[in-house]
Amino acid sequence: MKSLSDLQREFCDALRAPGAPSPVLMDELLDDGTAPERFNVYRNNFVVLNGDALADMYPTIRRLIGDEAFRSLANRYVRTHPPESRTLLLYGDRFPGFLESIPELSRLPYLSDVARLEFAWTCAYHAPDAQLLGRDEVASIAAETFTRFGLEPHPSMHCISSDYPAYRIWAANQEEGSEETISLDSGPSHILIVRPGMEVETREVGEGAFLFLQRLQAGDSIEDAFDMAMQSDSAFDLAEFFAHHLFDGTFCALRKPRT
Amino acid sequence: MNKTATKAIVASAITTALALAPLTGVQAGSGDKSEKCYGVAKAGKNDCKAGPGTSCAGSSTVDAQGNAWMLVLKGTCEKIVGGSLAAK
């Protein structure tokens, strides 16, 4: 008689294996003469339904490569990286890296970045709500001391950068029948994802704004984040950035200076 | 950039932002021509289905259960051209 943990491990391994389950494992299951058939029903649902969850997470990747290729990749992903959580709300966190590892997809080097964008979108969707930064809070601080403060980005904020026009590729695939042709040579993209209210917003921003937000998210003061942004992108316009984004829900609070 | 200059730029940027008439809602960035602002829902999303794990239907799809591995790309990726594709 096997120990329960051995039996569970064998059962899980057999769920993920494409071949027939071992007779030894089948002997351990209730013997009503149909154990292999019942096991196969369960195994099929395990692979297909987790693959469906992956397709819900990555609708743009599915459109880009087609249903057939997506299903084939999903089956392989589910077997390699089965869910580790009881809920599937954020299933597929390793899919972007998985896509990079598939030799047949090496001609589509932007896929993993688009996948990262899609995963961040769903993370933002499920992120906690937060109070947004208000004018009163900012107005109560003396202007000359602002440099030492930090800005707390909204908890749903994700910054994704790509060597490819991942934002345009993603955006063009949000509507059925878009005929837009996109050149991979049209440069890198910097993408900001945030959900200030009920809707997830996906924006393309300049490199300076991107670095500024990343540094603020890492805990830098406004001054340090701004200096870092200017070093890489001297065209970064802080006044324009704040005019649009200081009170639009990108930020939820001022962070007091470190003493 | 020296600290005094940074301080002045930051102070003036924040003062300007405060002086602007409050923009309503989450569309505040939409006047900015250099950025697009998308608030789209995921394809196929509806009230009871928002990302993975939110549907509990059984499956009628049958996984071929084989090891066969042939990746036929038939999607919109054919509309993305140039770059390293040229090196194939």
Nearest-Cα distance to chain A for B86, in Å, is 9
HEC sequence for chain A: CCCHHHHHHHHHHHHHCCCCCCHHHHHHCCCCCCHHHHHHHHHHHHHHHHHHHHHHHCHHHHHHHCHHHHHHHHHHHHHHCCCCCCCCCCCCCCHHHHHHCCHHHCCCCCHHHHHHHHHHHHHHHHCCCCCCCCHHHHHCCCHHHHHHCEEEECCCCEEEEECCCHHHHHHHCCCCCCCCCEECCCCCEEEEEECCCCCCEEEEECHHHHHHHHHHHCCCCHHHHHHHHHHHCCCCCHHHHHHHHCCCCCEEEEECCCC
| Chain B residues close to A72, C-beta within 8 Å | 69-71
Q: Indicate the pTM of the whole model.
A: 0.84
Across the interface, whether the CB atoms of B25 and A179 are under 8 A apart is answered: no
Calpha distance A52→A12 (Å, rounded): 19
Element (DSSP H or E) covering residue B37 = strand B37-38
Please give the structure tokens belonging to residue B19.
């002086």
Backbone angles phi, psi at A227, to 5 degrees: -60, -45
Q: Which of A69, A126, A199 sits opposite B74 (nearest CB)?
A: A69
Q: Which of B51, B74, B82 sits opposite A125 (nearest CB)?
A: B51
**In tens digits, what is the pLDDT along chain A, a chain of 259 residues?**
678 999 899 999 999 988 788 888 888 887 788 888 888 888 888 999 999 999 999 999 999 999 999 999 999 999 999 999 988 999 999 999 999 999 999 999 999 999 999 999 999 999 999 999 999 999 999 988 999 999 999 999 999 999 999 999 999 999 877 778 999 988 899 999 999 999 999 999 999 999 999 999 999 999 999 999 999 999 999 999 999 999 999 999 999 987 6
**Per-residue pLDDT at A26:** 85
Across the interface, whether the CB atoms of B36 and A146 are under 8 A apart is answered: no
**Per-residue pLDDT at A22:** 85
Mutate to test the interface with B, among A238, A241, A245, A251 (most CBs of B within 10 A): A238
**Per-residue pLDDT at A5:** 94
Q: How confident is the model at residue B2 (pLDDT cuts 50, 70, 90)?
A: confident
Nearest-Cα distance to chain A for B33, in Å, is 11
**Per-residue pLDDT at A93:** 97
Across the interface, whether the CB atoms of A60 and B43 are under 8 A apart is answered: yes
Across the interface, whether the CB atoms of A244 and B28 are under 8 A apart is answered: yes
Please give the structure tokens belonging to residue A93.
């966190």
**Per-residue pLDDT at B41:** 42
**Per-residue pLDDT at B24:** 53
Calpha distance A59→A244 (Å, rounded): 30
Across the interface, whether the CB atoms of A248 and B26 are under 8 A apart is answered: yes
Across the interface, whether the CB atoms of A64 and B76 are under 8 A apart is answered: yes
Is B76 a residue whose pLDDT tops 60?
A: yes
Mutate to test the interface with A, among B54, B77, B78, B79 (most CBs of A within 10 A): B77
Number of C-beta neighbours around residue A124 at 10 A: 21
Compare all CA atoms of chain B with the CA of A151 and give the residue at the minimum distance. Answer: B14
Q: How far is CA A107 from CA A154, A161, B26, in A?
A: 36, 19, 37
Nearest-Cα distance to chain B for A209, in Å, is 11
Nearest-Cα distance to chain A for B53, in Å, is 4
pLDDT in tens, B6-50: 999 999 999 999 998 765 544 444 433 333 334 334 543 333 344
Compare all CA atoms of chain A with the CA of B12 and give the residue at the minimum distance. Answer: A239
Closest CA to A12 of A94, A87, A73, A83: A83
**Per-residue pLDDT at A154:** 97
**Per-residue pLDDT at B34:** 34
Q: Which of B6, B11, B39 sits opposite A143 (nearest CB)?
A: B11
Q: In terms of residues, how long is chain B?
A: 88
| Chain A residues close to B43, C-beta within 8 Å | 59-60, 63, 174
Q: Which of B26, B43, B59 sits opposite A45 (nearest CB)?
A: B59
**How many residue pairs bridge chain A and chain B with CB atoms within 8 Å of each other?**
233
| Chain B residues close to A125, C-beta within 8 Å | 50-51
